[in-house]
C-alpha cells in the first residue's frame, strides 16, 4: 500500500474530530444530517485511495459508507424528522456486516488454524445469543409497532452480524502480540457503528424517544472517520500479515462467549412472549443455542484429550526416530527393579554409540546425519526381540534394554547381533555409507542397589571401554571399570588446577650424536607431581589433557618453559650454542589455529633461534586431519622451526606421509630399538627405516636405547643420533650440567669401551 504523508493524516484526523464535535453540539436539523452525509460519503474515496488488498473489508466499509449516506439522504429529505430504515438500506447494512465477518475470518485464517475449531463454535454462540436478544428486544417490538415483518427480520439479522464482527475483531486483536494503530481504529469504528445502530434499533422498537436517537449521529460520524483513518494509517498493511497465534483460549474470548449465553437468558426471563410465533422463535432459538453450546463443549473436551495425548507422546518420544526417550527408558528400568523377574532371566542394558558420527554430520551434512540416525534406529528395533526396549538417549546414543536375556553369554550374543546391524552399508539419499558402533553391556542384577541412572552409566562406561579398545566392538561392564572411571575423573579434575598449582615440571633427556659423541640436544618430558606427592606418568595424563583440552594451556607452558631453559643452559655453557630442544606436541595443539602464534611467542620471549627448536609430532594428526596438519607444519617450516616424527614405526608409518609432510627427522620407536640387537626382523626393519630416511634426507634418532649392544648396532646401521636410559634417564633441569659433563667425559662413541657387554661407567 502507498504510504500517505503524515500531514494528510493529521488533516483527516482534525476534520474527523471537528465534524464529530459539530454533529454532537448541533441541536439537530438539516445541517446535522448534511454532516452525517458528508462523513459517510468521504469513506468511499478514502477506501479507493488507500487500496488495501483485503477486498472484503474494503467492500464492507464501502457498503457501510453507502448505507450511512443513504440514511442521511433520507433524513435530509424527511426534513429532520426521524424515519425508519428502508428495507433496501437494511439489506445493504446486512451485506456490510456479512462482508466484515468474512473479511475478519479470512484474517484469522491467515494466522493459522489453531483457533478454527473453538472459534467458529464461539462465533456461532455469539451469533445465536445476540439473535435471541435482538429478537426479544428489537424484532418482535418492531413487528408489533410497525407491523413490518420484513424490516423487523432484516434488522434482527443485522444485529447479530455486527456482534459477530465485533467478536471476531476482538479475537483478531487478542490473538496478536503487536496491535497496530490501524487495528485499534478499525475496532473503534466498528464499535461506534454498532452503538449507533443499536440506538436506532431501540428507536425503531419504541424503547427510546427520537430525542435520544439523535445521539446516534455523532457516533456514526466518529465511526466513519475511525474506519477511514484505519485505512489511511500505514500500519494497516500489518493487519494482513500472518501472525503466530498463541495457543489456548483467551479469557476475553471466554467472557464474550459466556456473555452470549447469560444475556439472552436474562432477556428471555425479563420479557414475556407476545404470541405463539414469538414463543416458537424463542424456544427454537434457545434450543439451537443449547445444541451449539453442547457441541462446542464436546469438541473442546475431545480436542483437549487429543492435545493431552500428543503432549504425553511428545514428552516420551524422540521426535527424530520415534523411539522412546531417556525418560521412558529410566522409567522402564525403574519398573523392572521394583518387580521381581524370572530367575532364568538376566535383564541387560546395551549402550550403542556410533563411531565417528561427527564425521558424517561434518562431511555429508546434518540431513544425512539424521537419515543415519533414523535408519540405525529401525535396524536396532528389527535386531532385537519384541520385549526389548530400544531408546535413543541423545545424539548418536541408543540404549537397548532386553529383559529376556538369559545369561552373560546370551547377552553377548545379543550384543553381537546389534553389532552385526552395522555390517550392511546404510543407503542414504547421497549414497551408501558404512557406520560402525561401540557397544557397552551392563547386566541388571535383581539385588542391585543402583539407580536406573547408575545402571545406564555402567553401560555407558563399558561403551567407552569399547571405544578405547579400537571401536566397532563390545565391552562388558565390571566393577573395576567404575574405579578406573572414577580415577580418571579425579585426574581430570586435578589436572585443571595442576598448572596454577605449579605441579607440572619438565625433565630432560639428552640426545647423543653417534658420530661425535656430543650431546647435541635434549627432549623435554613433562612430569606431574601431585600435591600428595604422587607422580603421574605423562603416558597417563597427556591423553586425558588431550581429551579435555587442557593440553592447550599445558602445552603452551611446556614450550615456553623448555625454550627458556635451553636459553639459560646455552648462556651458562651447560650446552653448546647449537644444542637443540625437542618439545612434544599433541594433535590437539597442532590442530589449534592459535598454535603458530604460541610457538612464535615462545621463541621471541625466550630469545631462542627457531633452528634450535624441534617439535615432535605423532602420525595421528596427519592421518585424521591431513590438510590442517600440513598447513600448520608449513607455517612451522616458514618460521624456521623443525619437525620430527615421533614413535615412528608404531602407527601407519607410510612412506607417503614422509614425502607429503615437511618433516626433517624421524624417531625410531623404542619397540624396534629394543629388538635391534637380538631380533633379526627388528634389525632389518630398522635398517629399512634408516635407508628410507637417509634417501629422503631426514635426520634419524633412535629412542629408548638401553644397552651398548643396541647402540653399537644402531651406529653400524647408520643411525645419526640416539636417546635412552643407557645414555641418560630424563633428569631434572638442575641435574643437566652434571649429566652433560659425565657424558662428555665418556668420549666419542665407538670410543666407548665395551667390556663383557657392559659399558665401563
Ligand atoms: P615420547 O615423546 O616418545 O618420549 C619418550 C618416552 O620414552 C619418555 O617417556 C621417556 O622417559 C621414555 N624413555 C626414554 N628412554 C627410554 C628407555 O631407554 N627405555 C624406556 N623404557 N623408556 C625410555 P615419558 O617421559 O613417560 O613420556 C611418555 C610420552 O608422553 C612421550 O613419549 C610423549 O609422547 C608424551 N609426553 C611427555 N611429555 C610431553 C609434553 O610435554 N607434551 C606432550 N604433548 N606429550 C608429552
Ligand atoms: Mg617425544
Ligand atoms: Mg617417542
- In this prediction, residue 248 carries a pLDDT of 53
Phi and psi (nearest 5°) for 758? Answer: -125, 140
Query: Is 369 within 8 Å of 360 (Cβ atoms)?
Result: yes
Within 8 A by CB and 6+ apart from 395, the residues are 357
Ligand 1 atom 22, closest CA: 704
Can you tell me which residue has the cell 615456553? 560
What is the distance in A from the centroid of ligand 3 to the CA of 647? 4
> What are the residues facing 616 on neighbouring strands?
584, 644
**What residues have a C-beta under 5 A from ligand 2, the ion?**
584, 616, 646
- CA distances in angstroms from 4 to 46, 112, 296, 630, listed in the order given: 11, 30, 44, 63
What is the Cα–Cα distance from 126 to 261, expressed in whole angstroms? Answer: 8
Query: Is 719 within 8 Å of 666 (Cβ atoms)?
Result: no
Q: How many CB atoms are closer than 10 A to CB 609?
A: 15
Query: Is 126 within 8 Å of 163 (Cβ atoms)?
Result: yes
- Could you give the residue ranges of the DSSP H alpha helices within 26-84? 30-50, 55-77
> Which atom belonging to ligand 1 lies closest to the Cα atom of 509?
14
**Which residue numbers in the chain have pLDDT < 50?**
1-2, 113, 750-761
- In this prediction, residue 639 carries a pLDDT of 94
Domain 489-746: assigned CATH number: 3.20.20.450
- In this prediction, residue 115 carries a pLDDT of 53
> What are the residues facing 642 on neighbouring strands?
614
What is the distance in A from the centroid of ligand 2 to the CA of 583? 7
> Which atom belonging to ligand 1 lies closest to the Cα atom of 542?
45
User: DSSP string spanning 220-248?
Assistant: HHHHHHHHHHHHHSTTHHHHTS--PPPSS
Three-state DSSP at 573 gives: coil
Name the residue among 555, 497, 570, 491 with its Cα closest to residue 524: 555
Ligand 1 atom 17, closest CA: 704
- In this prediction, residue 690 carries a pLDDT of 94
Is residue 106 exposed (0-12), middle (13-18) or buried (19+ Cβ within 10 Å)? middle
Ligand 1 atom 21, closest CA: 704
- In this prediction, residue 2 carries a pLDDT of 46
* Residue 705 grid coordinates: 636405547
Pocket lining: 724 vs ligand 1, CB cutoff 6 Å: yes
Average pLDDT, the chain: 85
Name the residue among 182, 155, 193 with its Cα closest to residue 39: 193
- In this prediction, residue 147 carries a pLDDT of 66
Q: How many CB atoms are closer than 10 A to CB 255?
A: 11
> Which atom belonging to ligand 1 lies closest to the Cα atom of 669?
3
What is the Cα–Cα distance from 15 to 170, expressed in whole angstroms? Answer: 27
Q: How many CB atoms are closer than 10 A to CB 182?
A: 21
- Sign, CA torsion 692/694/698/699: positive
- CA distances in angstroms from 555 to 542, 550, 598, listed in the order given: 10, 8, 10
Over its C-alpha atoms, the chain yields an Rg (Å, rounded) of 45
Q: Where are the domains of the chain?
A: 6-303, 326-477, 489-746
Instruction: Please measure the distance between the N-terminal and C-terminal CA atoms of the chain and give it in whole angstroms.
Output: 99
Pocket lining: 4 vs ligand 1, CB cutoff 6 Å: no
Report long-range pairs for 594-597 (Cβ below 8 Å, ≥24 apart).
595/632, 596/632, 596/635, 596/636, 596/639
Q: How many CB atoms are closer than 10 A to CB 640?
A: 12
Angle between helices 181-204 and 149-175 (to 10 degrees): 160
Ligand 1 atom 27, closest CA: 538
Name the residue among 22, 30, 99 with its Cα closest to residue 65: 99
- CA distances in angstroms from 659 to 55, 480, 653, 654, 696, listed in the order given: 75, 44, 11, 9, 8
Q: Mutation test of ligand 1: which of 584, 587, 648, 667 has the most ligand atoms closer than 8 Å to its C-beta?
A: 584
Ligand 1 atom 13, closest CA: 704
CATH 3.30.70.270 fits 326-477, yes or no: yes
Pocket lining: 707 vs ligand 1, CB cutoff 6 Å: no
Pocket lining: 504 vs ligand 1, CB cutoff 6 Å: no
- CA distances in angstroms from 727 to 377, 522, 756, listed in the order given: 57, 12, 18
What is the Cα–Cα distance from 517 to 715, expressed in whole angstroms? Answer: 11
What is the Cα–Cα distance from 181 to 187, expressed in whole angstroms? Answer: 10
Name the residue among 499, 505, 464, 506 with its Cα closest to residue 481: 464
Amino acid at each position: 500500500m502507498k504510504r500517505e504523508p503524515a500531514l494528510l493524516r493529521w488533516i483527516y484526523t482534525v476534520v474527523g474530530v471537528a465534524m464529530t464535535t459539530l454533529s454532537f453540539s448541533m441541536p439537530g436539523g438539516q445541517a446535522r444530517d448534511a454532516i452525517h452525509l458528508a462523513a459517510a460519503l468521504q469513506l468511499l474515496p478514502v477506501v479507493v485511495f488507500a487500496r488495501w488488498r483485503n477486498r472484503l473489508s474494503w467492500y464492507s466499509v464501502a457498503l457501510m459508507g453507502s448505507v450511512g449516506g443513504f440514511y442521511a439522504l433520507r433524513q435530509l429529505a424527511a426534513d429532520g424528522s426521524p424515519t425508519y430504515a428502508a428495507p433496501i438500506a437494511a439489506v445493504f447494512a446486512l451485506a456490510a456486516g456479512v462482508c466484515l465477518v468474512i473479511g475478519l475470518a479470512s484474517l484469522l485464517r491467515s494466522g493459522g488454524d489453531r483457533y478454527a475449531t473453538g472459534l467458529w463454535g464461539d462465533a456461532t454462540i455469539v451469533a445465536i445469543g445476540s439473535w435471541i436478544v435482538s429478537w426479544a428486544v428489537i424484532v418482535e417490538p418492531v413487528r408489533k409497532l410497525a407491523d413490518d415483518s420484513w424490516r423487523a427480520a432484516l434488522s434482527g439479522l443485522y444485529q447479530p452480524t455486527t456482534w459477530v464482527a465485533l467478536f471476531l475483531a476482538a479475537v483478531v486483536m487478542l490473538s496478536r502480540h503487536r496491535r497496530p494503530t490501524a487495528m485499534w481504529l478499525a475496532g473503534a469504528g466498528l464499535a461506534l457503528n454498532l452503538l449507533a445502530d443499536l440506538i436506532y434499533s431501540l428507536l425503531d422498537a419504541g424503547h427510546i424517544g427520537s430525542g435520544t436517537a439523535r445521539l446516534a449521529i455523532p457516533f456514526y460520524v466518529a465511526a466513519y472517520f475511525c474506519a477511514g483513518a484505519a485505512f489511511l494509517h500505514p500500519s494497516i498493511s500489518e493487519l494482513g500479515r500472518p501472525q503466530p497465534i498463541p495457543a489456548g483460549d483467551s479469557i476475553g474470548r471466554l467472557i464474550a462467549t459466556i456473555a452470549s449465553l447469560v444475556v439472552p437468558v436474562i432477556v428471555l426471563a425479563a420479557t414475556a412472549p407476545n404470541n405463539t410465533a414469538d414463543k416458537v422463535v424463542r424456544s427454537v432459538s434457545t434450543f439451537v443455542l443449547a445444541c451449539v453450546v453442547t457441541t462446542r463443549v464436546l469438541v473442546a473436551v475431545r480436542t483437549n484429550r487429543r492435545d493431552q495425548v500428543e503432549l504425553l507422546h511428545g514428552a516420551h518420544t524422540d521426535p527424530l526416530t520415534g523411539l522412546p526417550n531417556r525418560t521412558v527408558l529410566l522409567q522402564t528400568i525403574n519398573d523392572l527393579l521394583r518387580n521381581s523377574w524370572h530367575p532364568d532371566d538376566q535383564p541387560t542394558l546395551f549402550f550403542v554409540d556410533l563411531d565417528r558420527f561427527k564425521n558424517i554430520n561434518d562431511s555429508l551434512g546434518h540431513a544425512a546425519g539424521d537419515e543415519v540416525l533414523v535408519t540405525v534406529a529401525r535396524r536396532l528395533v528389527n535386531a532385537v526381540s519384541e520385549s526389548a526396549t530400544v531408546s535413543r538417549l541423545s545424539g548418536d546414543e541408543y540404549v537397548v534394554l532386553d529383559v529376556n536375556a538369559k545369561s552373560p553369554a546370551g547377552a553377548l550374543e545379543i550384543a553381537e547381533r546389534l553389532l552385526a546391524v552395522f555390517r550392511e552399508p546404510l543407503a542414504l539419499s547421497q549414497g551408501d555409507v558404512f557406520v560402525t558402533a561401540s557397544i557397552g553391556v551392563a547386566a541388571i542384577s535383581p539385588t542391585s542397589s543402583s539407580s536406573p541412572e547408575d545402571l545406564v552409566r555402567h553401560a555407558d562406561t563399558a561403551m567407552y571401554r569399547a571405544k578405547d579398545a579400537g571401536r566397532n566392538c563390545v565391552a562388558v561392564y565390571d566393577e573395576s571399570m567404575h574405579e578406573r572411571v572414577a580415577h580418571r575423573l579425579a585426574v581430570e579434575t586435578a589436572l585443571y588446577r595442576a598448572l596454577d598449582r605449579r605441579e607440572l615440571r619438565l625433565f630432560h633427556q639428552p640426545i647423543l650424536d653417534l658420530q661425535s659423541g656430543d650431546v647435541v640436544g635434549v627432549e623435554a618430558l613433562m612430569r606431574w607431581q601431585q600435591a600428595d606427592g604422587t607422580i603421574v606418568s605423562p603416558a597417563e595424563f597427556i591423553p586425558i589433557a588431550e581429551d579435555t583440552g587442557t593440553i592447550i594451556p599445558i602445552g603452551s607452558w611446556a614450550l615456553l618453559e623448555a625454550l627458556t631453559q635451553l636459553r639459560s643452559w646455552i648462556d651458562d655453557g651447560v650446552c653448546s650454542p647449537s644444542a637443540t630442544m625437542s618439545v612434544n606436541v599433541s594433535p590437539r595443539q597442532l590442530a589449534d589455529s592459535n598454535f603458530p602464534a604460541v610457538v612464535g611467542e615462545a621463541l621471541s620471549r625466550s630469545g631462542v633461534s627457531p633452528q634450535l627448536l624441534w617439535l615432535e609430532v605423532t602420525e595421528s594428526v596427519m592421518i585424521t586431519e591431513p590438510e590442517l596438519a600440513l598447513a600448520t607444519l608449513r607455517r612451522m617450516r616458514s618460521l624456521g622451526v623443525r619437525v620430527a616424527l615421533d614413535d615412528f614405526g608404531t602407527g601407519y608409518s607410510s612412506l607417503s606421509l614422509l614425502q607429503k609432510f615437511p618433516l626433517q627427522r624421524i624417531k625410531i620407536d623404542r619397540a624396534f630399538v629394543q629388538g635391534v640387537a637380538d631380533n633379526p626382523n627388528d634389525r632389518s626393519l630398522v635398517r629399512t627405516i634408516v635407508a628410507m630416511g637417509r634417501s629422503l634426507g631426514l635426520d634419524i634418532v633412535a629412542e629408548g636405547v638401553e644397552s651398548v649392544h643396541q647402540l653399537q648396532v644402531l651406529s653400524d646401521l647408520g643411525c645419526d643420533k640416539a636417546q635412552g636410559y643407557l645414555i641418560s634417564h630424563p633428569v631434572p633441569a638442575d641435574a643437566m650440567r652434571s649429566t652433560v659433563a659425565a657424558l662428555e667425559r665418556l668420549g666419542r662413541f665407538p670410543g666407548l669401551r665395551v667390556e663383557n657387554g657392559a659399558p665401563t661407567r
